[in-house]
Amino acid sequence: MANGKIGSIRVSPRGPRFEVLLKNENAKGCVFYGRQCNHCDIPTLGMGINPKENQRLLVEDIVKLGDEKDLVKQVNLYGSGNVLSRIEISDETFNFAITSMLMFRNLECIGIDSRPEIAISRMGKERIEHALYIISRTSIRFEVIVGYETQDVQLRTSEGGLHKMISEKHMEQVFQLAKELGLGLQINVMLMPVPTMQLRDAVEEAVRTIERVKELQNKFGVAFVLVNLHPLYITRKMLAKWGEGILSNPLPSHAEIQEVVSRCGRLLPIFVGLDDEGLSVKKDY
Ligand code: SF4
């Protein structure tokens, strides 16, 4: 399982991986927060930041790496929202961030966090094409990171589930886009999408979800697909939704993570994301 760390760089099937969080420049934060995504408190990590300050923090993160910068093969640019949205991250910051990636001398790919609805929109495509232009003299691959979470439509979209309104059609469209533009994809899969689930069901659902991602890869012929497997941790938003009773439910631990990786590792490369971004009220790993 790929969980090791070299300083602040994590080991991934893509090689040493560095992650940066851009803060949301929209005062209301992620445009989906509040109406969707019953599990996610990430938008609380930043709202309404000045673009110049956002760029300063990005440079600070890169400079802190020192010589380790030259080990990095993959950078993921996350946002406290959607990095491909102009409403949330200004053009100035987006272009600055992509250009900053040229400081990584051995970089092989850049992952950009977004919803599929945004990636496939005119705004998202313009951003992707501009990023491709900036890196066009390099061999760096551009990847879109999508929080699919689960193949179970009911679990993903219902009010009682995650209430994250990503449809199967959106997923097909983002795979089609990746094929057309020669992009890679990183698909986030939650090990236990909702905190009321039993551990056994959570493992089986993660396996089914990774199998579905593999099907999509085969159907659209996208060469580079990475699974980011995220075991559930409890957030304050979940407590508000499901109540304190969920704190006594067992959560995925290393045993469940290991089972999913050993059953699905032959299908697709899997990176295990154990970071709770400092937001967990409870986690079992
Ligand atoms: S999961 Fe993504 S889209 Fe949903 S609230 Fe969190 S940051 Fe926004």
Q: The domain spanning residue 181 has which CATH number?
A: 3.20.20.70
Structure tokens at 122: 């005119």
Domain that holds residue 193: 5-272
How far are the Cα atoms of 16, 38, 252 from residue 203, in angstroms, in the given order?
Answer: 27, 20, 8
Q: Is 282 contained in some domain?
A: no
Residue 272 has pLDDT above 90, yes or no: yes
Is 195's C-beta closer than 6 angstroms to any atom of ligand 1? no
Q: Tell me if 42 CB under 6 Å of ligand 1.
A: yes
Task: Please tell me the distance between residue 138's alpha carbon and the centre of ligand 1 in angstroms.
Answer: 31
Asked if residue 147 has its Cβ within 6 Å of ligand 1, the reply is yes
Q: Rounded distance, CA 22 to CA 40, Å?
A: 16
Share of the chain above pLDDT 90, in %: 94
**Residue 281 is assigned to a structural domain of this protein:** no
pLDDT band at 256 (very low <50, low <70, confident <90, very high): very high
Q: What is the mean pLDDT of residues 121-138?
A: 97
Does residue 32's CB lie within 6 angstroms of at least one atom of ligand 1?
yes
Whole-angstrom CA distances from 207 to 149, 157, 215, 257, 258 are 12, 19, 12, 11, 12
The reported pLDDT for the residue numbered 4 is: 73
b/e per residue, 166-177, with b = 16+ CB within 10 A?
beeebbebbbeb
The two beta strands, 9-10 and 5-6, are antiparallel
C-beta separation of 73 from 14 below 8 A: yes
Query: Does the pLDDT at position 226 exceed 70?
Result: yes
Per-residue model confidence (pLDDT) at position 3: 58
Q: Residue 270: pLDDT above 90?
A: yes
Say if ligand 1 is within 6 A of residue 40 CB.
Answer: yes
Ligand 1 test: best mutation among 40, 84, 148, 186, most atoms within 8 Å of CB?
40
pLDDT of residue 2 exceeding 60: no
278 within some domain:
no
Q: Is the pLDDT of residue 1 over 80?
A: no
> pLDDT digit string (tens) for 75-106?
999 999 999 999 999 999 999 999 999 999 99
- pLDDT given for residue 177 in this prediction: 98
- Whether the CB of 193 sits within 6 Å of ligand 1: no
The reply to whether 279 falls in a domain is no
> Is 202 inside a domain boundary?
yes
In a domain, 138, yes or no: yes
**Is residue 63 in some structural domain?**
yes
Scanning the chain, the segments in alpha helix (DSSP H) are: 51-64, 91-100, 116-119, 122-134, 153-157, 168-181, 199-220, 236-242, 254-264
Closest C-alpha to 204, from 216, 192, 186, 218: 192
* pTM for the full predicted model: 0.96
Task: Specify the residue with its C-alpha closest to ligand 1, atom 4.
Answer: 37
Q: What is the DSSP letter of 228?
A: E
Average pLDDT over residues 24-28: 96
Contact 231 CB / ligand 1 (< 6 Å): no
Is 197 a domain residue? yes
Total domain count, the chain: 1
Cβ pair 74, 108 in contact under 8 A: yes
